Structures are given as structure tokens and as C-alpha cells.
Amino acid sequence: MLQYHSLLVNTVNVLSHRLSSGHSCEGLLCSIRRETHREGGFLLMANQKFFKSLLVLVFALFLSLPTMAQRDFSNVDIVANHVAGSFYYLQGAGGNIGLSIGDDGVVMIDDQFAPLTDKILEAIRELNDGEIRFVINTHVHPDHTGGNENLGNMGILILARDEVRVRLSASQPESALPVLTYSDAITIHLNGEEVYAFPVPPAHTDGDTFIHFRDSDVIHAGDVFRTTAFPVIDTNNGGTLDGTLSALGVLIGTAGPDTKIVPGHGEVSSRMDVMGFRDMILDVRSKVAPMVERGLSYEEVASANPTSAYSARYGDSERFLRAVYSELGGLD
């Protein structure tokens, strides 16, 4: 029975991430998203109808698991980019991987998906043949932590916030879990670089970390900041709109005019880019708030299209707009 419970939890976690990380929300998925968003958690079953819907969904996902497990990564290329000083980042499939490289070895930020580990290690060896000393997870999502188990089995020390270990432990083996966790800032001194990792308020998730490579003046911001889409606020993993704004404020305050900022997804940016991203969120929130106060439904708010000025750049706004509406007190 415990095995079936574990499968249910893991399957729901997969769905939770898929809904919160860029996939459109249609049909049954959308109705369940609305129900759980209103209740504030994925496993809160408000009524029998919702429970039945969840069972149908879990069954459908169960049937699709082989397909998900067989995703083809063979055509994914891992591309290395130099940013500044000792800092590089890798692009492939999943979140941007940060690297501090030097005579003392490698500090790695995130590790994408497990099937890509060999390609990622090869790309790192082309830059530096030293030992990978540490991996820091910026947050819990599998496109950033999927390689943990492979790297953990190699004896590489994995670091993350306490919250990340707790959430990963629900679905991952011991070797995939962070060995060293923290609730306050930590500093790694390697390659003549201060690697300063510090927690931020619950934003994209409740376990987000920024990592400032102080000597190279580069900040890896994880998925709190991205250049490819509207903010993803994963309420199922503790993310919040207010926390996103607070965390972006921290990022702006930490960065200088010449600081390079590596987003979780997208291209290297500047402090001004982050300010524009935050201002977009504030603008959308300012348009949605009075509509919520008037008691408008989500459908009515969406029809008003408060994100229209930004859709050409950021794409589909449904999940972001729904998160804004919900956190402002919308009842739909």
C-alpha cells in the first residue's frame, strides 16, 4: 500500500511541476489546477467531484509515465558560454547550469536532467579537467535537480536549502538528496572566488537560492528570474507572488550596474533587465487588484487581458495571471 501511495505522491509532484513550469493548462488539467490553486495545495480534496477528477488524472498520468521516462535527449547539445572571470554557464535542456572553474576544481549550479549527465560532464571537462567539488541546487524542480542522483553517486557534495531536501526526499533516493543544507547564507571559497549562496523569500518555490560569484560579479538567480516567459509561481511548492517581488528586489539590490545575472532560463541579463521584469509584475498586479476588489471572476479578469502589453515578449500568461488573481484574493 505504501508503494502505491508513493507512486501517487510522485505522480502528483510531476504534474505539479509540469503545470508550474510552462505547460499550458487545458481541459481536466485546467479544472484541477483551478480547484487546487483555490485551496492552496495539490492534495487538498475539497469535494468528491474533485477527488474523482484527481483519480482520473493520476490514472492518465500513470499510463503516460513510460512516454515521459523515454524522453529523447539524444539530440540535445550542451553549449558552454563564458560570462566573466571564472564563471561559465551551460545551456542544454532544462535550467541554465552555472560553473565556477579554476585550479581548485569546479563549483556547479544545478544539473538539468539525469540522461544529460554524461554530456554535461564532457562539456565541463572541455573547460576544466579538475574535480567537481560542489553542486548547489537553486530549487527543487527536476529540470534543475534531475542529475543529482548521478552526481551524488560520484561522491560530489550536493548543497541546497533545507526545504529542497525535504521536498526531494518525498520522491528521490538518498543519493539524490543534498548532503549539506542551509537556512542562512553560506560562502564557498574556491578558485580565488567567493561563492555566496543565500536564501530568498518564497518566490518561484519556498526553497529558492541566489548564488553570487562575487569576484566575477555574476549572480545565478535560478527560476525566480527568467527571460523566456512570465514568472512561474509554483504555489504547490510554496511559491508566492509577494515573495517573487521581494526576491527580485533583493536581486536588484545585490547587483551592481555591471553585474551579470544568469536567469534560470534564458540569456545573461543586467540589473536593468531585472528591474523591467519586476516592473512588469507590478504593472499587471496593479491592473488586476481593482478587478478583484470589484468581485470579478478569473474569466472576466482574463478577458480584460491585463498582460497584453507583455505577451509578445513572454508568451502565454494564463498560469501567471491566475497566480496573481489568486494571491490578490480572487475567489474563482
Task: Tell me: pLDDT of 47 over 50.
Answer: no
Amino acid (1-letter code) at residue 271: R
Name the residue with higher pLDDT: 313 or 34: 313
Of residues 47, 33, 43, the one with CA closest to residue 325: 33
Q: What is the mean pLDDT of residues 196-220?
A: 98
Instruction: Collect all residues with Cβ–Cβ distance below 8 Å to 20 and sequence separation of at least 6.
Output: 232, 233, 234, 235, 236, 237, 239, 319
- CA dist 44 and 33 (Å) reads 12
For residue 292 the three cell numbers come to 478583484
Bigger pLDDT: 23 vs 160: 160
Q: Which of 265, 190, 251 is nearest to 218 (CA)?
A: 251
Residue 56 has what pLDDT? 42
Confidence of residue 24 (pLDDT cuts 50, 70, 90): very low
Quote helix, strand, coil % in the chain, to nearest 5: 45, 20, 35
Instruction: Write down the pTM of the prediction.
Output: 0.82
Looking at per-residue pLDDT, the higher value among 322 and 12 belongs to 322
The C-alpha angle with vertex 17 and arms to 272 and 310, in degrees rounded to 5, equals 35
pLDDT of residue 71: 83
| 3-state SS assignment for residue 251 | helix
Task: For residue 186, report the phi and psi dihedrals to the nearest 5 degrees.
Answer: -130, 155
pLDDT in tens, 150-196: 999 999 999 999 999 999 999 999 999 999 999 999 999 999 999 99
Per-residue model confidence as pLDDT tens digits over 214-266: 999 999 999 999 999 999 999 999 999 999 999 999 999 999 999 999 999 99
Each residue's pLDDT tens digit, 112-163: 999 999 999 999 999 999 999 999 999 999 999 999 999 999 999 999 999 9
Percent over 70 (pLDDT), the chain: 79
Distance, in Å, from the CA atom of 180 to the CA atom of 162, rounded to the nearest integer, reads: 9
Q: Report domain extents, the chain.
A: 2-69, 79-279
What per-residue confidence (pLDDT) applies to 332? 66
Overall CATH class of domain 79-279: alpha beta
In the predicted structure, residue 54 carries a pLDDT above the cut 80:
no
Dihedral-angle region of residue 27 (phi above 0 means left; psi in -120 to 50 means alpha; beta otherwise): left
